[in-house]
Structure 1
């Protein structure tokens, strides 16, 4: 017997095994989302909403199936926050943390999260082509009235795309950036009312009156207030006006209360052709920041 024959038989068996190995599937998918870039105004009474897109792109080999089921989910970002699924940050402390949420259906409806119940789900259909894509719209929302520092807050959201690749599933984990630009703003949250004097000719004491107002400015925003005039004449009565806090102020994110104080000095005659006379003039209060 030839002692080399067993080796020849073993080599032939090995070649036969290699020749019958199953071909690997060539289906490859990935997902790309548009960057989420929001501009936030704290004094807007409505939530800040945005709409964005995420596209799943797939390619396959000529012998691969013409369809592939998929699911796509999004995590809570790098900085999960209590009471909200996501949080963009720029520093430490609550004034430097901006909560936001992502949705599949509409702003505030159909959370897009990291569970089966909150996935985008569907099927990629190639037909006869070797490439195919599916696009979904997703939404962002920031609640109104947050009190945050004026700065840019950032986050990164990681998605999980799962698709059918031959005998098993394949997961890929693309990301997209989130930025929220919190604009520095001030407004008269309570405009001033009328400063109303009641004065009798030659009265022995000054007449005083005041009007309250409130200013709301972003945390840390400095601002000043000024009247277009601090003195004038009504019915030949000289009056003066002054702000309760004439110096520079710093916003807290909440309404800050002030008054406009007016005085008519005692002993003035005035001009009136009847038992009672009235007169009015408009003044302008300017808030600069």
Structure 2
């Protein structure tokens, strides 16, 4: 046998054994956030807030490090507004866009955004395990008194998870949905006051009076108003009541002003045992339906 050939075979065998050495496994992480689902009432004088969570789950190989630093940030969604405010939308125009914000510390404090200063940051610690996770609570906030259509508004927020997974690090970009249900609301922003008649027996002109009130309904919300009765009698004087706007109305998100008008027809005697009489009041009910 040629000694040179034997040496070459041995060298080839050594090279083959070196190439079969096990490779180091890569650290793999991902993030999952709970869907943000808020219900909004425009008549609530306080901001609408919520608390949610995002969890980072990681796995490693036996030869991988037992710790890894990470950062997690969130962008301004698919529909960023002025000043980098998130917006959920349902159509075009301001009435179909609802602004909201995300926070790391509490509603209104510690913005969760897309900069180093607004990241969640920490360290994943495996100890002796091959899996590890860490959970952060984040918060949503919608300002009070927004003037929006009664709709369901949606958005999608993209996160960026960065961690130490070795050479050629690749960031992960998971997403989570945002849903805001803007409820239809109507309320008496200014309730009606008393209707007071002053009448003299057999006067030749009708006695009239009125009281003002205001209704605030969600933008685009149709509504109607009605009295439980439009006629009655006090001191044997027959009176009538009428709404200034008896037809259907549509909410604007702002107070809309109306009146209840009262009339006692002329020429009535009435009943009064003294020179001046005052009757006990009657109660009437105004109903707003939407």
TM-score higher than 0.5 here? yes
Please state how far the C-alpha of 1:3 moved relative to its aligned partner.
9.6
Q: CA 1:7–1:148 in 2, change beyond 3 Å: closer, same or farther? A: farther
Give, in whole Å, the separation in 1 of the partners of 2:9 and 2:143.
Answer: 76
Listed as ranges, the gaps of 5+ residues in structure 1 are none
Alignment RMSD, CA only? 2.2
Residues 38-74 of structure 1: CA deviation (Å, up to 9, x unaligned): 1111121111111111011111111211111111100
Asked if residue 30 in structure 1 is aligned to residue 30 in structure 2, the reply is: yes
Q: Structure 1: how far apart are the matches of 2:169 and 2:275?
A: 93
Say if 2:24 and 2:64, in contact at 8 Å, map to a contact too: no
Following the alignment from structure 2 to structure 1, what is the Cα–Cα distance between the partners of residues 258 and 94? 27
In 2, distance between residues paired with 1:264 and 1:84?
Answer: 60
For residues 114 and 271 of structure 2, what CA distance do their matches in structure 1 show? 76
Superposition pairs of residues 64-75 of structure 1, within 5 angstroms: 64-75=64-75
**8 Å contact from structure 2 (residues 48, 142) kept in 1:** yes
- Aligned equivalents of 1:89 and 1:35: distance in 2? 16
Q: Distance between the aligned counterparts of 1:77 and 1:218, measured in 2?
A: 25
1:217 matched to 2:243? The reply is no
Distance 2:209 2:15 in 1: 104
Task: Identify the residue that residue 172 of structure 1 maps to in structure 2.
Answer: 172
How many Å apart are 1:245 and its aligned residue? Answer: 0.5
> What is the DSSP-based 3-state SS (H/G/I as helix, E as strand, rest coil) of the residue aligned with 1:171?
coil
Q: Could you tell me which residue of structure 2 aligns to residue 145 of structure 1? A: 145
1:1-289 aligned within 5 A: 15=16, 18=19, 23-83=23-83, 85-167=85-167, 169-279=169-279, 280-289=281-290
Separation in 2, partners of 1:84, 1:274:
73
Larger deviation: 71-80 or 262-271? 262-271
Q: Deviations over 1:164-204 (max 9, x none)?
A: 11356441000000111111121111111111111222222
Q: Distance in 1 between matches of 2:250 and 2:6?
A: 95
The answer to whether the Cα contact below 8 Å between 1:84 and 1:99 also exists between their aligned partners in 2 is: no
Contact residue 24 and residue 63 of structure 2 kept, 8 A: no
TM-score by length of 2: 0.92
**Distance in 2, Cα, partners of 1:10 & 1:89:** 68
Query: What is the number of residues matched between the two proteins?
Result: 288
Q: Please, which runs of 5 or more residues in structure 2 have no aligned partner?
A: none
Is contact 1:84-1:101 (8 Å) kept? no
- For each residue in 1:198-218, what CA deviation from the matched residue of structure 2 results, as whole angstroms up to 9, or x when unmatched? 122222211111111111111
TM-score scaled by length of structure 1: 0.92
Q: Alignment partner of 2:239: what SS?
A: strand
| Contact 1:25–1:166 (CA under 8 A) maintained in structure 2 | no
Q: Distance in 1 between matches of 2:134 and 2:273?
A: 82
Flag the 1:32–1:247 CA change in 2: closer, same or farther, 3 A.
same
Shift of 1:16: 7.2
